[in-house]
A and B are shown apart, each in its own frame.
Chain A
Amino acid sequence: KNQVEQSPQSLIILEGKNCTLQCNYTVSPFSNLRWYKQDTGRGPVSLTIMTFSENTKSNGRYTATLDADTKQSSLHITASQLSDSASYICVVGSYGGSQGNLIFGKGTKLSVKP
């Protein structure tokens, strides 16, 4: 079964600090990997999308990396802000399966404290 595992489940950091979130996946066939940010009470918002040939993608203070050989991805947040408090969801795009074309991880809940 296609799966996306994220770690840690939750994380608390101080404002201004950096952090890295992890994502491991077993999805086949692989099409792309996405990171979403979901604020409380809102729908997810796309941060980055990477295909097989891309190993890094940045969006402001967010930098995602992809190692397709080890099937791992990370999302690095630089100089965190209070507004970064949210759930971050790793999503792997696939096709042809009954799970739909996007397989979602359960997310990492990040809390940024002043």
Chain B
Amino acid sequence: KAGVTQTPRYLIKTRGQQVTLSCSPISGHRSVSWYQQTPGQGLQFLFEYFSETQRNKGNFPGRFSGRQFSNSRSEMNVSTLELGDSALYLCASSLVWDPKQAKNIQYFGAGTRLSVL
């Protein structure tokens, strides 16, 4: 079974541009979450989707947005890029949406490393 696939693996953009990152979850998984990882802050939650609906959103500005398609694939978009957006963006999929996160295992992709110049 293929794991979580994120594309592209690396991106270089300049300030002010916008970027779209893609995530294909494990086959059969319907929940997708996005995280930003930086050396100083660790992993920070961006948003979570299930059945094409955003179920939860972290404390990030409106420049960060996402969506989920009917096949559970997800994209996230960052507009008007800033230097501070340079980070590893991780996508994680899980079988179902579990608001109480009892024992719902998330499987992470390898991430997209975004560099903003």
Contacts and interface: CB of A to CB of B under 8 A. Distances in A.
Contacts of A46: 105-107
Nearest to B44: A104
Contacts of A107: 42
Given A31-B102, A107-B42, A43 B90 contact: yes
Interface stretch (A14-22, A68-76, A89-97): A89-97
Interface of A is mostly: loop
Given A93-B101, A98-B58, 16 more contacts: A31-B101, A31-B102, A42-B111, A43-B90, A43-B111, A49-B105, A89-B43, A93-B100, A95-B99, A96-B99, A101-B45, A101-B48, A101-B56, A104-B44, A106-B41, A106-B42
Interface of B: 4, 33, 35, 41-45, 48, 56-59, 90, 92, 98-103, 105-111
Interface of A: 31-32, 41-46, 49, 51, 89, 93-96, 98-102, 104-107
